[in-house]
Amino acid sequence: MRTPEPAIPERVQRHVIGMHCAGCHAVVDVAPRQLLSDFIAGTPVHCPGCGASYDVWGRMVEQLEFGVFGTRYAAVGANVVTAQVDLRRDQPLVLDFQKLGIPDAAEIEEIATTPSGSEEGWLHPVFQKDPGPGQPASDNLVIYPVPVGAGAEENQLSILIVWTSQTAAANPAQEELLAGVRAAHRSDPLGAIISLNVAMELALGSAMNAWLEIHGIGRGRRKRFLGSEATYGSQLSVLLPVAAATAGLAPIPERPRAALARLRNLRNDVAHGGLQAATIGGSDIAECIAAAAVGVVYCDALRATLA
């Protein structure tokens, strides 16, 4: 093997990962937060491809459970880059994400590679270190060409990269939501439940704090009340509906409301050691992610109406 050389990407394309129609596979929206806002407001959504009525909640849960390659990240906002590079015998390549237009501060969630070879053989890409969800885009990856069958002197390699970009400083709840999706991706349902519940607790705590503040409740009293007197459970089931009603917001739709309550129970079971990872199915986790995604958007909307 020679010294790794920089990969020269060709035919680079960048897209936002959207929510898809189950019927015609058209992208219904590439801005999941807008789609979730429409769903919360009860605004009917139609597929721009086939015109069918679009069940935002049902499709989001389905896409989270069965979505392949990156589409499970659509609920929290994700991007994809596709490119082609030439793979040559004995020549390792350094993949520089910035050359593909991925910001330095972004995080890589998933990479798929497809070598184009003949029946006799091809060069197969093997990463020096397998990229895992949440890997910093500032890292460079080294790809080694491993001959399969008779190998080849050279063949093309298609690369798809899913990346996300959200900083904890900008929105800690959104960052926890993403951590929950990553944990689910790593087959860590207990970790996913903890992160998703934290995401909702942070978003709700922030909205409740803003709500009490505009009603003249001082900082110390807010902190004491939200920190120890009104638990997360009562904030979710009592204070949030009251605050939303006074702000003129529709209640959280039935399915995410039930799923948020379930998420809270699962979180308590995890905390008390009463829940085994094996007993939680993919559909449970998909509903928990969808619920937290809706809940965070809802709390952000409430906070915005109070500002």
Q: How far is the CB of 45 from Zn ion (least distance, A)?
A: 11
DSSP assignment letter at 229: I
68: phi then psi, degrees, rounded to nearest 5: -100, 155
Nearer to Zn ion among residue 55 and residue 300 (C-beta): 55
Q: How far is the CB of 256 from Zn ion (least distance, A)?
A: 23
Q: How far is the CB of 46 from Zn ion (least distance, A)?
A: 8
Nearer to Zn ion among residue 21 and residue 161 (C-beta): 21
Nearer to Zn ion among residue 54 and residue 97 (C-beta): 54
Nearer to Zn ion among residue 26 and residue 142 (C-beta): 26
Distance from C-alpha of 82 to C-alpha of 197, rounded to nearest angstrom: 33
Q: How far is the CB of 26 from Zn ion (least distance, A)?
A: 5
Residue 203 backbone zone (phi > 0: left; psi -120 to 50: alpha; other: beta): alpha
DSSP assignment letter at 87: E
Cα-based distances in Å from 194 to 204, 267, 271: 15, 6, 9
Distance from C-alpha of 294 to C-alpha of 38, rounded to nearest angstrom: 11
Alpha-carbon dihedral of residues 228, 231, 235, 239, nearest 10 degrees? -60
Q: How far is the CB of 53 from Zn ion (least distance, A)?
A: 10
Instruction: Give the pair of three-digit tokens for residue 106.
Output: 């972004």
Nearer to Zn ion among residue 52 and residue 94 (C-beta): 52
- Closest C-alpha to 53, from 88, 90, 28, 74: 28
Nearer to Zn ion among residue 32 and residue 145 (C-beta): 32
**DSSP assignment string, 41-60:** HT---B-TTT--B--HHHHH
Distance from C-alpha of 68 to C-alpha of 50, rounded to nearest angstrom: 22
Are residues 121 and 147 in contact, defined by beta-carbon separation less than 8 angstroms?
yes
Q: How far is the CB of 17 from Zn ion (least distance, A)?
A: 17
Q: How far is the CB of 25 from Zn ion (least distance, A)?
A: 7
Nearer to Zn ion among residue 21 and residue 288 (C-beta): 21
Distance from C-alpha of 164 to C-alpha of 75, rounded to nearest angstrom: 12
Query: Please, is 131 exposed, middle or buried when counting C-beta atoms within 10 Å of its C-beta (0-12, 13-18, 19+)?
Result: middle
Nearer to Zn ion among residue 29 and residue 287 (C-beta): 29
Q: How far is the CB of 255 from Zn ion (least distance, A)?
A: 21
Residues contributing to the site for Zn ion (CB under 5 A):
21, 23-24, 26, 47, 49-50
Q: How far is the CB of 57 from Zn ion (least distance, A)?
A: 17
Instruction: Give the pair of three-digit tokens for residue 71.
Output: 């589409």
Distance from C-alpha of 297 to C-alpha of 285, rounded to nearest angstrom: 18
Nearer to Zn ion among residue 24 and residue 271 (C-beta): 24
